[in-house]
Amino acid sequence: MSHAADRPRWPTTLRLALAGGRADGMRIGLTALGAAGAAVALLVAASVAVIGPNDGPYPYEVLTQPGLRPGVVVVMLLLCVPILVFVGLCTRVGAPARDRRLAAIRMAGATPAEVRRVVWVETGLSAGLGSLVGGAAWLVGGAVVQPSPQVVRTDSTDGGGVIFSELVTAPAYPLPVDVAVPWWLLVLCLALVPAGATLSARVAMRRVGLSPFGVVRHERSRPPALAPAVLVLVGFVGLAAWEPIAASTGLSLEQGLGAYAGVSAALFVVTLVGLVFGAASIASLLGRLLAPRTGSPALLIASRRLMAAPFTASRAAAAVTFAVLLGAAVQGTRANILVQTDPGQTFYADTFDQLDVVLALGIVIAAAGLLVITAEGIVTRRRTLAGLTAAGTPRRTLAAAVLVETVLPLVPTVLLAATAGLLAARGVLGSSVQVYDSSGIAGDPEARMVGVPVPWVELGTLAGGTIAVVLVVTASALIFLRRSTNISEVRAAA
């Protein structure tokens, strides 16, 4: 098959990509499901971006106010990050059976490039199917959903040009499903998802060796580097001391948002990169600390696994870390803004409540990626797990080891991410703000400095809720453990 004339035609490639058993069908279904979610998120962002004066009304002021819509677009784009990570992780579902099928294709004479094309086509088709389903669901929703009585805010002016706002009950759409998205933007949103999924599959296959005797993944054998820890330290110090740094360098919001926001955003990204890649260092360190000291069999198995494969924990925790870091920054921003506003005005509180719902959805999606990683790890190591069972290790001990292996390195990572997000908000926006009494204006004696409270309850809910969700989702993967610990699995090919 190495010659151009002998290369498989596209129908053959499609048939090979869609072949397989139940696990392959599950992988295609999960990939399509994640792609559908990403497509809907992109279409929501596109619809919000093109809302016109004749569209609506909507019950949420973040959709009604033109100045707040860019924030909604950014949030929906950020929500796509954990969704696309979930899509990338779904490509590993049923990996052992697919690996044997790819090896058989190689044995039949296909080149490594041709086998990789089969994988790319499978991922692209699955994501493309999900993207079309998501686009169809959005279009059908726009045609079916009708406005229902909702409480909306209306603005009116008197003869002197003064604007009055009042709450009235009027027919309104819950989402901007009535907006006519331009066809080219609709096609772009639906095409971005399969393109991104295919690109991620091509990147993931770079470390895979395809031979007629099996599929070999070239894992990193070197220990985790210290560079991520340095990045985290630089980001933490920079964000915590951002106020004096900005003052000493002459940066301020009054002089413009450009340089001020650019430097602070760079520190935020540095911290995020350090935390994501530093999860492997945390996992390896925890394994080295626990392995020689613990007397618990479950902890011993989990710590040895953390030492042997620390980058697995890093890959699994990336999306969760991103969601927690962003959520903590939002909670810090919420505390800063609410302390400056009238408690009787619920606009900002309601807006942040809606943002919390989106963040919670992102955390759940990120945790779903952990479910895929945990289930894939159980199935891949079924020979080892079956061997431990044959040697007398109880299944409950192996179940505890699987939970500890996933959750243990995530706890310090989540706490560090929550701390970094809070430092980012307080460092950039300040730990104290100037507020005015109802009769005061800028420069009057009524102005006073007020400290911004630390949102301990919100941060505790964010960190604790994330760990709880991860624990529940990871426990769901234990349904694969009973079959993977069957003694007959000792004879498994992979």
- pLDDT of residue 132 exceeding 90: yes
Task: Give the pLDDT band (50/70/90) at residue 57.
Answer: confident
Q: Residue 42, CB half-sphere, CA atoms under 13 Å: how many?
A: 25
Average pLDDT over residues 451-465: 89
Average pLDDT over residues 168-180: 74
> What is the reported pLDDT for 2?
44
Average pLDDT over residues 290-312: 85
Average pLDDT over residues 203-224: 57
How far apart CA 379 and CA 385 sit, in angstroms, is 9
Pick the more confident residue, 239 or 125: 125
Phi, psi (deg, nearest 5) at residue 432: -145, 145
Q: What is the DSSP string of 335-386?
A: HHHHTTS-TT--HHHHHHHHHHHHHHHHHHHHHHHHHHHHHHHHHHTHHHHH
- pLDDT of residue 213 exceeding 80: no
- pLDDT of residue 381 exceeding 60: yes
> What is the reported pLDDT for 258?
57
> What is the reported pLDDT for 462?
92
How far apart CA 378 and CA 486 sit, in angstroms, is 12
Based on DSSP, count helices (H) and strands (E) in the chain, helices before strands.
18, 6
Residue 287: count of CB within 10 angstroms of its CB:
23
> What is the reported pLDDT for 5?
45
- Average pLDDT over the chain, rounded to an integer: 77
Average pLDDT over residues 441-453: 66
- pLDDT of residue 409 exceeding 60: yes
Average pLDDT over residues 162-189: 74
> What is the reported pLDDT for 105?
74
- pLDDT of residue 62 exceeding 50: yes
Lowest-pLDDT range of 247-256, 311-320, 455-464: 247-256
How far apart CA 472 and CA 403 sit, in angstroms, is 10
- pLDDT of residue 375 exceeding 60: yes
> What is the reported pLDDT for 149?
64
What are the tens digits of pLDDT across the range 342-367?
A: 777 777 787 888 888 888 888 888 88
> What is the reported pLDDT for 79?
82
Average pLDDT over residues 92-97: 67
Pick the more confident residue, 485 or 46: 46
> What is the reported pLDDT for 464?
92
Lowest-pLDDT range of 2-16, 46-60, 114-128, 480-494: 2-16
- To the nearest 10 degrees (0 to 180), the angle between helices 22-49 and 112-144 is 50
Cα–Cα nearest to 363, from 480, 471, 231: 471
DSSP bridge partners of 208: 217
Per-residue buried b or exposed e for 464-491, using 16+ beta carbons within 10 Å of the residue's own CB: eebbebbeebbbebbebbeebbeeebee
- The token pair at 462 is 């964010």
> What is the reported pLDDT for 460?
92
DSSP class of 408: T
Residue 165: count of CB within 10 angstroms of its CB:
10
- pLDDT of residue 331 exceeding 80: yes
Task: Give the pLDDT band (50/70/90) at residue 133.
Answer: very high
> Which range has the top average pLDDT, 32-41, 81-90, 224-233?
32-41
> What is the reported pLDDT for 238?
80
- pLDDT of residue 86 exceeding 70: yes
DSSP class of 394: -
Task: Give the pLDDT band (50/70/90) at residue 131.
Answer: very high
- pLDDT of residue 109 exceeding 70: yes
Residue 200: count of CB within 10 angstroms of its CB:
18
